[in-house]
Amino acid sequence: MRREGQGYYVGLLKAAELHGATHQAVMEFQVITAKRLPRIRAGRSMIVFYFRKDMKAVTVGIEDRKTDTGTMKMSSAALTALDLLRYPQASGGIDTIVTVLSDLRQEIDPEQLAALSAVVERPVVQRLGYLLDHFDHDVLTEPMLEALRVRGSLPWTELDRTGAQDPDFAPEPRQRDLRWRVIVRRVPRVDA
């Protein structure tokens, strides 16, 4: 990444694994970067890049992690939780996200989560807030909700966008959460 001259951080399921919050081995090394880059095969591993336009907005959630060969930039637990919902295609679906969140929640700093909630896309914050509330982690959600309220009114958003892509085949909403303004078509389950 130094050669590319771009900001980056290790994120998503790989960061969750490094925080000790995954139940299975991550098959790809996931990196968030400010430049669109193709996948790279490195031996038996695959390095996959995900694009984030404004890296400066989330610098509060990027930390340095020591490795055997030096240091690397990595997302904090709070930024990892938000990114899992920002990039659901890279996260294995809503049930996997909920399972990872159940382990990651102890590592999340409420103040940092609130600061990130003020700059990350509102629907992402709404989805995470709903999931944390649904699984009784409301100590984290009050500061998030306050950060969202400062930004203005909330539009309705789908919890799982994949379930609502085709309106003809989408199941009827089972719930509409008024606090977060999230439409829930299927309640996610934590994998055992």
Supply angle C-alpha 125, 130, 133, rounded to 5. 120
Domain boundaries, the chain: 8-184
Q: Of 37, 40, 38, 35, nearest to 6 (Cα)?
A: 35
How far apart are alpha carbons 129 and 81 in whole angstroms?
10
pTM metric for this prediction: 0.91
* β-strand pairing of 157-158 with 182-184: parallel
Return per-residue pLDDT of the chain as tens, 192 residues: 777 778 999 999 999 999 998 767 788 999 999 999 999 998 888 999 999 999 999 999 999 999 888 899 999 999 999 999 999 999 888 999 999 999 999 999 999 999 999 999 999 999 999 999 988 777 889 999 999 999 989 999 999 987 666 666 667 778 999 999 999 988 898 876
In contact, 33 and 47? CB cutoff 8 Å:
no
